[in-house]
Amino acid sequence: MKRRSVGTFLLHAGLTLAGLSAIFPFLWMLLLSLQETSLTLTAPALRWPWPPSFANYIAAWHAIPLARYYANSLLVAGVVALGQVITGLLAGYVFARLQFRGRDLLFLLFLGTLLVPTEVTLIPSFLLMRWLGWVDRLPALTVPFLAHPTAIFLLRQYLLTLPGALEDAARMDGCSHLQVLWYIFIPLALPAAGVVGLFSFLWSWKAFVWPLVIIQTPARYTIPVGLAMLQSELGTDWPMLMAATALATLPVLLLYAAIQRRVRVFDYGF
């Protein structure tokens, strides 16, 4: 009993430290955003702002077209998340429930694309977008990412855990494969699809390198690229930058708070 109590205490202490270490960057961001504005090359020392000032949030909102960047990021992240959920469900159903020659080999080759670093495909992707005439256009931020191996893998693993008797019953009633997917598996896979959509939205929302390379018009910038415009060689207004960063983080927190009750932890089938 004593060993179990000590082990439980150490586990809780470790989890508490991990939670505090994860919260500290956000706390640092909020405290710094409430300090008085100052143009410096390095971030000022962290101190408790009293009285707190919200002038940095107003200044950040007007320093850059943050509302337009919000709209661009919401459009791009929403389209990418929806596309990855749809393609993940379709491809996941094919790899999980259909039987055809070479299925497992094709799936392994498909997963092999996860081993290719993003930097390797950066120049070929740019050349492809230029050939399509999509440079400096929002479709270049969405179309190449409508399908992703991670989303397909996670949804495929979840669909493997569903009982095959449901599919057999639907097929005996005359349902096609698309009808089986739509009426049987998608309702059961909504928690997994919600998790995949959330992660896809977060990944697209915080993407920086590809939007920086492919978008040239400031009015089409996304949030991460727009935040970089607040920095300069002469110095950075760190309180205002942290205020803009806090505003950029808000939609993601609201999205998670809105769907957390509808999304539960699921078994991947490992």
From first CA to last CA, the distance across the chain in angstroms is: 32
- Tell whether the model's pLDDT for residue 60 goes beyond 90: no
Q: Rounded distance, CA 79 to CA 216, Å?
A: 21
Amino acid 237 reads: D
The pLDDT tens digits for 90-137 are 999 999 888 888 888 988 888 888 888 888 889 999 999 999 999 999
Sequence-ordered list of residues with C-beta below 8 angstroms from that of 251, at least 6 positions apart, any chain = 70, 73, 74, 205
Q: What is the mean pLDDT of residues 194-207?
A: 91
Instruction: Determine if the pTM surpasses 0.75.
Output: yes
Q: What is the pLDDT of residue 270?
A: 33
Q: What is the pLDDT of residue 172?
A: 84
Amino acid 186 reads: I
Q: Where are the beta strands (DSSP E) in 174-267?
A: 236-237
For residue 151, give the nearest of 103, 207, 189 by alpha carbon: 189
% of the chain with per-residue pLDDT over 90? 31
Mean of pLDDT over the chain: 84
For residue 268, give the nearest of 150, 184, 181 by alpha carbon: 150
- Tell whether the model's pLDDT for residue 268 goes beyond 50: no
